[in-house]
RNA sequence: GCGGACGUGGUGGAAUGGUAGACACACGGGACUUAAAAUCCCGAGGCCUCACAGCCGUGUGGGUUCGACUCCCACCGUCCGCACCA
């Protein structure tokens, strides 16, 4: 009987049907085994899934399936991050309602995910745009509002004029909107905020406990939170120069030790002192105005010169009232960090130095760098902010900067001025409160009502959800909710008078800040079913892209705490994600036609529009339709915008899901990018067929599993050892998410199996070992190529599902070798090897090593000084 | 500027401080075939050699160690994050 090729696309559909019919992946709350919550960051339903997206889900699925096999009760859900701008943009461009566009995409993408054979409990599916979801989010908002964790304030915000909405600080990348890429402008608006700063300290401190998170992500978050310890110092204004009504200014510094090096104060253009002074001085007023218009983009900031304007105001030095310092307005001082005012120490800060040099302000060194001569030391072009000894600093002279910090802090803390200390230790954060108002339609409505008499009135819980009106119009820019004729006009729940609904919706990052909680009980009446949350949280393994290192992951850590503190907590759990893995992307070459007009965007072409000729450096690409020459662009992450995507449906139809899964796991370490190539895919496809051929052949040769033979020949034993070792390493590497190594191990095992199949003669013990190898191979590939595994399992005569089978335990005796080959080094250089019994003593090994010809030759007659024997590994002869 | 990661054959990469280059791709040779596809076998870091042996090799230079891709220091390069945060 000749082997048939394995028809992956057809068989995969079959097995998916079987799994679904048997509800194999539906999570049972009462199932035995420890819980394991495996989650991949849920997708935005943008249209279609391509091979690039599939890597994330494949990794999660391999882990989830492995954990299931290991006896864990696994929760592995999937949902849709379904609110967001693209839906609204589609509405504007194609005149289709955002809801319809979104749900149609979900339909398509759900089918695509299912075609990958993911072990997902689809009964828990969530779409954040569904009122069933967002009514709970509105409830959470109201609870945060009650707790004072949500509030409204007028502030400067980042305005994206392309998307016509506000952006949070975290959503501004290099001065541009994270989605639109438009240069962000500053606007003053009244907005809703979440008080994430209240958790700054905790969010920072708790990073230490996240030992299963990548160090990189923890660092990025720590930097983002940006805690700094310093001193807040009150400077008294010189009465002769002070504007009316103002008599002091507060300055924040992290370097109070350099206080004697102060040569000026600088305040932000929006600082009250600047405004007061500007009111008297038209030139200063003009300068402040100019500052406001500068500095919205990174490019501006980089090129922007340090500019200042002397207000004429003078302040007294805290340690010497007769020492007057000028107060300048400076364009580089930020109003919303610290106190919006600094003291400048040019010797110790590069910016202050540049500023001082430009405006001829004094530069007095206060820290003598190690090795410098006090008599001759002068500040040159570079400020010194490092270590050294304090000089020119009165009572601080001779101290280290750290000690001087303490000395200044404790002295100013106890110096009283008008009944309060002059100085106070203060911790500052770079983190700002999270602005969540978005002037868009396709988001979760903020459930409050503005009443002329009662002010901001929360929508009563019984009136939730505040649903989006279906009949909004999308033909104009701006917020469709705001211009809807009736939606916003409601009665005040408090006094009954006509009032106005809030027309802003929530940032979609709110939606994704708690979906993992909702998955634990997606149909509960309360937002969070405490029992389910306690049973399942935290997420044991979270998998997603590094691009969320700050945004989503910081918001979620905050929001989980905030809702816990508002009564929706699971025990005293504070961190939602116990382990995080950030996977690399699938990349692909790009192709484009050179554009004719200057500055015009390239005209991207997708890989299936391309014909490639030649190889290596001589490859040329042509447009398959027109034959026109096409430029091969750089390799980039697969993305719709550059068209360098491979559609999942087409791929699965041709190669099958298992090939896609195997390919995206192969070669590259999972945290690094993997390059999509046709030859790489061919390699994966070949392996699928190879596994099938082997199992098929073994099933023919050994149709039934007979009792285990009493003894095994050397060949059979070697095969058994290879099988069990492969089983062991496959498990270990999957556990550690080192999928590329797991894949390599399975290739290696397949090579061994292929060799073992070569002798066509049948022997009882070898047959038994072959069958064992085939069965174990089916188990080993099951997490990665689940359909093929089922096919193999069935071919071996089982009528159970391998998805329901336990991961076999490797026999410990088969994991060790009795005869070892160990390397022998002379002075650290490999000179030979030694075949030796595993139980040989160190003395025996040493003697054997020293008698090797190669060792004797390498020693060249020198006496042996020392022999290091590392049992079962290596011998090093030192001579 | 600050912080971090990384640097291994033609390529992707492997290697608890212990035989560097597993495994795969590409490549070369061979088997099977009328032929092709598919499949299977063999080879392969560099230098020198008919071969054996030998020498050199994990960005560069030092260090620690019996032993370093791995740990430490400095430098070079690439990538990422933050960026007027006082």
**pTM given for the model:** 0.92
Distance A206 CA to B81 C1' (A): 20
Comparison of pLDDT for A289 and A321, the residue scoring more: A321
pLDDT at A301: 47
Q: What percent of chain A has pLDDT over 70?
A: 97
Distance A858 CA to B47 C1' (A): 21
Strand B-proximal residues of A, range 739-768, CB below 7 A, are 740-741, 743-744, 747-748, 751, 754-755, 758
Outline where A255-315 has alpha helix (H).
Answer: 272-280, 282-293, 298-303
Residues A80-85 have a mean pLDDT of 94
Comparison of pLDDT for A838 and A747, the residue scoring more: A747
Q: For tokens 């779409």, name the residue.
A: A127
Q: Assign residue A830 a region (left: φ > 0; alpha: ψ between -120 and 50; beta: otherwise).
A: beta
Statement: residue A673 has pLDDT above 60: yes
Distance A747 CA to B25 C1' (A): 13
Contacts of A538 (CB under 8 A, 6+ apart): A37, A573, A575, A576, A577, A578
Statement: residue A299 has pLDDT above 50: no
Q: For tokens 């590392």, name the residue.
A: A870
Q: Is the CB of A226 under 7 A from strand B?
A: yes
User: Would you say A601 and A595 are in contact if contact means Cβ atoms under 8 Å apart?
Assistant: yes
Q: Is the CB of A551 under 7 A from strand B?
A: no
Angstrom distances, CA of residue A208 to CA of A115, A203, A217, A707: 40, 10, 12, 53
Q: Is the CB of A354 under 7 A from strand B?
A: no
Strand B-proximal residues of A, range 86-125, CB below 7 A, are none
Most confident of A207-211, A633-637, A854-858: A207-211
Q: Is the CB of A836 under 7 A from strand B?
A: no
pLDDT at A125: 98
The C-alpha atoms of residue A363 and residue A352 are separated, in whole angstroms, by 9
Most confident of A102-116, A298-312, A665-679: A102-116
H or E element at residue A858: helix A853-859
Largest CA distance in chain A: 109
pLDDT at A378: 81
Statement: residue A3 has pLDDT above 90: no
Q: For tokens 């000028």, name the residue.
A: A326
Strand B-proximal residues of A, range 252-281, CB below 7 A, are 252-255, 268
Q: For the ranges A8-22, A376-390, A413-427, which has the lowest average pLDDT?
A: A376-390
The C-alpha atoms of residue A349 and residue A369 are separated, in whole angstroms, by 14
Q: Is the CB of A831 under 7 A from strand B?
A: yes
Residues A40-62 have a mean pLDDT of 93
Angle at the Cα of A750 from the Cα atoms of A745 and A752, rounded to 5 degrees: 100
User: Would you say A345 and A352 are in contact if contact means Cβ atoms under 8 Å apart?
Assistant: yes
The C-alpha atoms of residue A374 and residue A368 are separated, in whole angstroms, by 7
Statement: residue A618 has pLDDT above 70: no
pLDDT at A639: 86
Provide φ and ψ at A504, rounded to 5°: -75, 150
Average pLDDT score, chain A? 90
Strand partners, A867: A877
Reported as a pLDDT band with limits 50, 70 and 90, residue A294 is low
Statement: residue A615 has pLDDT above 70: no
Distance A297 CA to B71 C1' (A): 43
Q: For A694-715, write each residue's pLDDT tens digit.
A: 999 999 999 888 899 999 998 8
The C-alpha atoms of residue A187 and residue A166 are separated, in whole angstroms, by 9
Q: Is the CB of A835 under 7 A from strand B?
A: no
Residues A833-847 have a mean pLDDT of 87
Statement: residue A300 has pLDDT above 60: no
**CA A685 to centroid of chain Cα atoms:** 31
User: Would you say A178 and A603 are in contact if contact means Cβ atoms under 8 Å apart?
Assistant: no
Question: Which chain B nucleotides are covered by protein, judged by CB under 7 A?
Answer: 3-5, 12-16, 18-20, 22-27, 38-41, 53-55, 66-68, 80-86
Distance A249 CA to B79 C1' (A): 44
Paired sense of beta strands A603-605 and A248-253, if any: unpaired
Q: Is the CB of A876 under 7 A from strand B?
A: yes
Distance A650 CA to B10 C1' (A): 32
Q: For A537-553, write each residue's pLDDT tens digit.
A: 999 999 998 888 888 99
Residues A46-65 have a mean pLDDT of 93
DSSP A739-791: HHHHHHHHHHHHHHHHHHHS-----HHHHHHHHHHHHHHHHHHTTTSHHHHHH
Q: A620 in helix, strand or coil?
A: strand
pLDDT at A85: 86
Distance A634 CA to B9 C1' (A): 24
Q: For A556-608, write each residue's pLDDT tens digit.
A: 999 999 999 999 987 789 999 999 999 998 888 888 887 655 556 678 888 88
Q: For A162-219, write each residue's pLDDT tens digit.
A: 878 888 777 777 777 777 777 777 788 899 999 999 999 999 999 989 989 998 999 9
Q: Is the CB of A241 under 7 A from strand B?
A: no
Distance A869 CA to B18 C1' (A): 10
Q: For A416-431, write each residue's pLDDT tens digit.
A: 998 999 999 999 999 9
Statement: residue A726 has pLDDT above 90: yes
Q: Is the CB of A825 under 7 A from strand B?
A: yes
Q: Is the CB of A331 under 7 A from strand B?
A: yes
């Amino acid at each position: 009987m000749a082997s048939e090729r394995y028809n992956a696309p057809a068989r995969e559909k079959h097995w998916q049907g079987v799994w679904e019919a048997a509800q194999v992946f539906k999570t049972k709350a009462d199932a035995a085994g420890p819980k394991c919550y495996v989650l991949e960051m849920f997708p935005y339903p943008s249209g279609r899934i391509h091979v690039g997206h599939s890597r994330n889900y494949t990794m999660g699925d391999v882990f989830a399936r492995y954990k299931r096999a290991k006896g864990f009760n696994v929760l592995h859900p999937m949902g849709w991050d379904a609110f967001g701008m693209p839906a609204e943009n589609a509405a504007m461009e194609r005149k289709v309602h955002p809801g319809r566009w979104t749900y149609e995409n979900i339909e398509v993408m759900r089918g695509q995910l299912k075609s990958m054979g993911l072990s997902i409990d689809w009964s828990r599916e969530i779409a954040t745009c569904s009122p069933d979801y967002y009514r709970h989010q509105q409830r959470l908002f109201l609870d945060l509002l009650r707790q004072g964790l949500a509030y409204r304030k007028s502030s400067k915000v980042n305005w994206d004029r392309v998307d016509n909405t506000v952006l949070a600080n975290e959503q501004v990348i290099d001065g541009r909107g994270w989605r639109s890429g438009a240069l962000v402008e500053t606007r003053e608006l009244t907005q809703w905020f979440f008080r994430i700063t209240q958790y700054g300290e905790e969010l920072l401190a708790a990073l230490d406990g996240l030992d299963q998170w990548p160090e990189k992500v923890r660092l990025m978050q720590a930097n983002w939170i940006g805690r700094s310890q310093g001193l807040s110092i009150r400077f008294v204004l010189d009465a002769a120069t002070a504007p009316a009504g103002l008599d002091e200014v507060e300055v924040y510094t992290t370097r109070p030790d350099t206080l004697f090096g102060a040569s000026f104060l600088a305040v932000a253009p929006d600082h009250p002192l600047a405004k007061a002074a500007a009111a008297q001085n038209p030139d200063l007023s003009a300068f402040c105005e100019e500052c406001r218009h500068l500095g919205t983009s990174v490019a501006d900031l980089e090129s922007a010169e340090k500019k200042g304007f002397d207000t004429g105001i003078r302040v007294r030095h805290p340690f010497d009232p007769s020492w007057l310092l000028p107060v300048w307005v400076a364009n580089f001082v930020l109003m919303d960090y610290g106190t919006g005012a600094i003291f400048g120490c040019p010797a110790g800060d590069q910016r202050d130095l540049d500023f001082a040099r430009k405006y001829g302000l004094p530069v007095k060194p206060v820290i003598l760098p190690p090795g410098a001569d006090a008599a001759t030391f002068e500040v040159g072009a570079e400020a010194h902010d490092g270590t050294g000894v304090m000089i020119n600093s009165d009572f601080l002279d001779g101290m280290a900067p750290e000690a001087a910090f303490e000395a200044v802090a404790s002295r100013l803390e106890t110096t009283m001025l008008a009944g309060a200390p002059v100085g106070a230790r203060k911790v500052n954060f770079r983190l700002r409160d999270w602005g969540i108002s978005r002037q868009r339609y396709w988001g979760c409505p903020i459930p409050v009502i503005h009443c002329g008499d009662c002010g901001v009135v929360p929508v009563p819980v019984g009136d939730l959800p505040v649903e989006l009106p279906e009949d909004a119009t999308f033909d104009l820019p701006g917020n469709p909710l705001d211009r809807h004729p009736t939606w916003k006009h409601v009665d005040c729940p408090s006094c009954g008078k006509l009032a106005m609904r809030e027309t802003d919706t929530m940032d979609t990052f709110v939606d994704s800040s708690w979906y993992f909680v909702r998955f634990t009980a997606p149909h509960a009446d309360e937002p969070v079913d405490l029992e389910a949350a306690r049973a399942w949280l935290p997420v044991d393994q979270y998998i997603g892209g590094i691009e969320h290192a700050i945004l989503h992951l910081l918001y979620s850590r905050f929001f989980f705490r905030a809702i816990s503190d508002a009564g929706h907590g699971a025990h005293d759990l504070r961190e939602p994600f116990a382990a995080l893995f950030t996977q690399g992307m699938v990349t692909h070459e790009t192709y484009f036609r050179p554009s004719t007009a200057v500055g015009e965007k390239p005209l991207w072409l997708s890989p299936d529009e391309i014909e490639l000729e030649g190889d290596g450096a001589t490859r040329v690409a042509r447009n398959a339709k027109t034959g026109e020459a096409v430029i091969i662009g750089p390799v980039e992450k697969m993305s719709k915008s550059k068209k360098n995507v491979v559609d999942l449906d087409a791929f699965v139809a041709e190669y099958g899901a298992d090939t896609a899964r195997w390919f995206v796991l192969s070669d590259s370490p999972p945290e690094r990018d993997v390059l999509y190539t046709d030859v790489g895919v061919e390699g994966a496809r070949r392996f699928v067929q190879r596994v099938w051929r082997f199992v098929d052949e073994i099933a023919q040769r050994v149709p039934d599993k007979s009792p285990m033979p009493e003894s095994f020949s050397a060949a059979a034993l070697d095969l058994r050892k290879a099988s069990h070792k492969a089983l062991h390493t496959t498990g270990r590497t999957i556990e550690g998410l080192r999928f590329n190594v797991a894949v390599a191990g399975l290739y290696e095992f397949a090579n061994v199996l292929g060799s073992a199949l070569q002798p066509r003669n049948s022997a009882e013990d070898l047959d038994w070992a072959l069958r064992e190898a085939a069965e174990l191979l089916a188990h080993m590939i099951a997490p990665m190529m689940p359909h093929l595994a089922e096919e193999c399992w069935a071919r071996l005569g089982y009528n159970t599902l391998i998805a329901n089978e336990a991961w076999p335990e490797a026999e410990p005796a088969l994991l060790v070798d009795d005869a070892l080959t160990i390397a022998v080094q002379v002075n650290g250089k490999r000179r030979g090897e030694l075949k030796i019994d595993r139980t040989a003593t160190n003395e025996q090994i040493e003697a054997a090593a020293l008698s090797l010809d190669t060792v004797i030759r390498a020693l060249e007659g020198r006496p042996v000084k020392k022999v290091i024997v590392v049992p079962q590994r290596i011998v090093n002869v030192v001579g």
